[in-house]
């Protein structure tokens, strides 16, 4: 500010003190005309405020904010004027915005924080009412029931009244969920939960406990546990079996991440719980083998087994890697499974052991009620799989890294498909398989499907979900494949090919699959042009384009503006750094 402006500002302030506001405005006008500043604009706004010309005062305050948004002067003046205009809520927003912009140092910030707090208090109700004191108990329990167990425990620290209410409501303790705790859970807390639930505690998820064995025995002895999940509890053996002997109601047992058992323990657990168990999930100890279930489980409908191992135990040349029978699933690949699990509906087997391949056959045709099958196995030929025609959901992942282009052919050149007339959901991951060969999962040859020559063939179901990963794809083959009559009503489609796919596939997908709601093209070379082509489908609701290196954020924003939910993120393939997209 030069000397002329300083002189005009002194004259203006002098007139302001004498109450001659109009003359003061004239001096400030001349000073601002030379070079505006926050102080001059605030001085003129003060004069307009004294003359009750509040719109003019607010205009100068806003101009001061625009001129220097890190100076608290404009925010303070604007808020004061808005309060006089009886727009307290707008003034509160101005103060809040100023607190975000102004640096957290100096008297200006403290003054801004003070007026913000004062106005917040004024706008608050005269007396704050605890909702738990006015709501009916049943309604309060219903509302708290929508929260997770961790959230309910967190809000119990709000006050003694809240803590007392939550700890006196058995219905809020039906699921003791201790997954992902910040620190190890004390035994005393579990004891309180047991006493609070009063025989209503039927589900428990245990993780990171100070004394796991003591807690497990207490829960199974005092509570009618029906669903039990164990996480990060290490290798379990006889102690788990002894604890499970105390339960008579267990329907679901999940040995999740960080909890492993050996084959002997698995057999004992199944034997102890065979009469009530409906769902069983486990991870076998490292390098152990799954030899099947040898105790009849009349109610078991869901089975999931995961195998793990070390690379050092499966070196090339070892006998296990080239054994004539499955080295990871027992000698006969789950023999007689249908005899011991007669109503099995869902089967998941994930073999994560580092081995070359399996040479035996997995025959599941006798599982007449099987509807959901999830396999991750080192299988290189469809001739090693015999699937029941009752399947509705199928996920198959070949963990062999080498090319398996001849997946459906045997050494004699004969071809085998999968007659699955009821299939509605299919996910296939077979490295470098040609997409045209996926047709063998959809074919329903009456000769393969009918049990007797006189049986009338039924029309196959229409697929609702289809996901294909690591396949070799071309526009011509994709066009031919998507013309399959079983894909006419497809709602969810995912394609993550191993070959290069550009915007041409967007045209094919839009033309052949007009009913799609969700499309996943992660890892492809699609660009913004391809995204716009996909949005020609008015039914599209969700788009997943993660790791699409040629796709810009502007195309993603454009798709979101048109009402499509877009998942878009880039993962770094470079070690020691982060990939940033602009």
Q: What is the pLDDT of residues 538-560, one digit of tens each?
A: 899 999 999 998 999 999 999 99
Note the pLDDT of residue 492: 96
Task: Return the structure tokens found at 275.
Answer: 């009469």
pLDDT for position 130:
79
481-503 pLDDT, tens digit each: 899 999 999 999 999 877 778 88
The whole-number average pLDDT for the span 438-458 is 57
Pairwise CA distance, residues 5 & 374, whole Å: 80
| Residue 59 banded pLDDT, cuts 50, 70, 90 | very high
Alpha-carbon span 259 to 236, nearest angstrom? 7
Looking at residue 535, the DSSP 8-state letter turns out to be T
Instruction: Kindly give, in sequence order, each residue whose CB lies less than 8 Å from that of residue 283, ignoring residues fewer than 6 positions away.
Output: 255, 256, 257, 259, 260, 261, 305, 306, 307, 308
What pLDDT is recorded for position 455?
Answer: 44
* Of 94-108, 277-291, 307-321, the least confident: 307-321
CA 111 vs CA 75, 292, 572: distances in Å: 11, 73, 45
- Annotate 197-232 with b (16+ C-beta within 10 A) or e (fewer): beeebbbbbbbbbeebeebbebbbeebebbbbbbbb
Mean pLDDT of the residues in the chain: 85
Lowest-confidence pick of 362-366, 413-417, 501-505: 413-417
- Of 120, 156, 116, give the one whose Cα is nearest residue 140: 156
Band of pLDDT at residue 404, cut at 50, 70 and 90: low
127, 75, 201: which is closest to 190 by C-alpha?
201
At residue 450, the pLDDT reads 37
Angstrom distance (rounded) from CA 455 to CA 310: 49
DSSP bridge partners of 428: 396, 468
């Amino acid at each position: 500010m030069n000397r002329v402006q300083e002189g005009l500002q002194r004259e203006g302030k002098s007139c302001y003190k004498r109450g001659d506001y109009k003359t003061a405005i004239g001096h400030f006008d001349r000073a601002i005309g030379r070079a505006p500043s926050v102080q001059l604009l605030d001085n003129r706004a003060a004069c307009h405020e004294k003359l009750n010309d509040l719109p003019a005062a607010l205009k100068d305050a806003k101009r001061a904010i625009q001129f220097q948004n890190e100076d608290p002067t404009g925010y303070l003046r604007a808020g004061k004027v808005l309060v006089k205009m009886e727009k307290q809520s707008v003034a509160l927003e101005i103060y809040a915005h100023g607190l975000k912009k102004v640096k957290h140092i100096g008297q200006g910030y403290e003054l801004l924080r003070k007026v913000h707090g004062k106005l917040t208090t004024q706008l608050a109700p005269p007396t704050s009412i605890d909702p738990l004191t006015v709501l009916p108990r049943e309604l309060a329990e219903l509302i708290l029931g929508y929260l997770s167990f961790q959230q309910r425990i967190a809000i119990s620290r709000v006050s003694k009244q809240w803590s007392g209410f939550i700890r006196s409501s058995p219905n809020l303790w039906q699921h003791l969920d201790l997954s992902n705790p910040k620190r190890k859970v004390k035994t005393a807390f579990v004891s309180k939960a047991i006493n609070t639930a009063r025989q209503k505690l039927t589900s428990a998820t245990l993780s990171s406990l100070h004394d796991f064995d003591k807690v497990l025995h207490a829960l199974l002895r005092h509570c009618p546990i029906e669903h039990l999940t164990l996480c990060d509890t290490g290798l379990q053996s006889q102690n788990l079996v002894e604890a499970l002997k105390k339960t008579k109601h267990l329907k679901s047992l999940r040995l999740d991440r960080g909890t492993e058992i050996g084959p002997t323990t698995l057999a004992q657990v199944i034997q102890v719980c065979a009469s009530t168990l409906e769902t069983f999930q486990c991870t076998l100890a490292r390098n152990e083998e799954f030899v099947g279930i040898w105790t009849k489980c009349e109610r078991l409908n869901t089975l999931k087994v995961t195998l793990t191992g070390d690379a050092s135990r499966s070196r090339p040349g070892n006998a296990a890697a080239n054994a004539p029978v499955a080295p990871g699933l027992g000698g006969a690949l789950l023999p007689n499974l249908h005899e011991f699990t007669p109503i099995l509906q869902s089967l998941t087997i994930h073999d994560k052991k580092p081995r070359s391949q399996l040479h035996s056959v997995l025959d599941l045709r006798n599982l007449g009620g099987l509807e959901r099958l999830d396999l991750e196995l080192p299988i290189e030929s469809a001739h090693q799989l015999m699937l029941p025609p009752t399947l509705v959901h199928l996920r198959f992942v070949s963990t062999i890294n080498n090319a398996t282009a001849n997946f459906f052919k045997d050494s004699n050149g004969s071809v085998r498909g999968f007659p699955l007339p009821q299939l509605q959901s299919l996910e296939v991951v077979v490295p470098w398989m040609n997409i045209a060969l996926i047709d063998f999962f959809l074919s329903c040859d009456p000769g393969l499907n009918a049990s007797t020559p006189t049986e009338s063939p039924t029309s196959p179901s229409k697929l609702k979900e289809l996901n294909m990963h690591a396949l070799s794809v071309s526009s011509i083959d994709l066009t031919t494949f998507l013309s399959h009559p079983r894909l006419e009503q497809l709602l969810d489609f995912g394609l993550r090919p191993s070959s290069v796919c550009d915007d041409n596939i967007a045209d094919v997908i839009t033309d052949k699959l007009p009913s799609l709601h969700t499309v996943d093209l992660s890892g492809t070379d699609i660009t913004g042009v391809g995204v716009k082509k996909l949005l020609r489908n008015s039914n599209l609701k969700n788009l997943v384009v993660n790791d699409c290196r040629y796709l810009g954020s502007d195309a993603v924003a454009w798709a979101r503006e048109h009402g499509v939910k877009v998942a878009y993120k880039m993962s770094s393939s470079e070690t020691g750094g982060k990939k940033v997209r602009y």
